Amino acid sequence: MSGRISGVQAKLKEQCPSALYVHCSNHALDLVLQEVAREVRVVADTLNFVRSVSVVVGESSKRKMLFQSMFGDDEANPCRLRDTEETEAILTDVGEQQWRREFYEALDLVTTELDRRFDQEGLQVAALREQTDINAANGEYSGMRDHCCTGARSVR
């Protein structure tokens, strides 16, 4: 779909040659999670576990209701990643509490990496790198050296 020969990217380039193609944020997020999961085993295990829980909960409306009664509505707390209060009803086993702590630490690592990669400067660098790759594949000089060495980089 985004192929540089016959995909959306190529069609956009026909209409506007100066257009810069950047992967959609969902695809970029998927690539980041894959890379982090390759580097950190606990992240891979965590993502597999979350996927499994999602499948099990999603297969039954009864389990969905139980899950919502235990953890609340997503709309109320969309960005809550860490435990913010002590709960003793859900997890009482020390091993499970340790696993939970490690899970949130791994999740914090992922969110920190996402914040780093998706800040404005990081997106500009990623877009410039992708454009350089495209230009190199087309046999064109990208001018990246000039851009980087002249101090033209934006700083926030």
The share of the chain scoring above pLDDT 90, in percent, equals: 0
Residue 2 lies in a domain: no
pLDDT digits (tens, 9 = 90+) for 52-80: 888 888 888 888 888 777 776 554 444 44
Residue 14 lies in a domain: no
Residue 64 lies in a domain: yes
Residue 128 lies in a domain: yes
Phi and psi at residue 120, to the nearest 5°: -60, -45
Burial-class residue 82 by CB neighbours within 10 Å (0-12, 13-18, 19+).
Answer: exposed
Q: What CA–CA distance (Å, rounded) separates 133 from 131?
A: 5
pLDDT at 126: 76
Residue 4 lies in a domain: no
Burial-class residue 46 by CB neighbours within 10 Å (0-12, 13-18, 19+).
Answer: buried
Q: Which residue has the higher pLDDT, 84 or 116?
A: 116
Residue 124 lies in a domain: yes
Q: Within a 10 A sphere around the Cβ of 19, how many other Cβ atoms?
A: 12
| Token pair belonging to 57 | 């909960």
Cβ–Cβ under 8 Å, residues 81 and 104 = yes
Cβ–Cβ under 8 Å, residues 80 and 110 = no
Domain that holds residue 31: 25-77+90-144
Residue 18 lies in a domain: no
Residue 84 lies in a domain: no
pLDDT, mean over the chain: 70
Reported as a pLDDT band with limits 50, 70 and 90, residue 9 is confident
- Look at the pTM and tell me if it is higher than 0.75: no
Overall domain count for the chain: 1
| Token pair belonging to 25 | 């944020």
Cβ–Cβ under 8 Å, residues 58 and 64 = yes
Q: Which residue has the higher pLDDT, 143 or 27?
A: 27
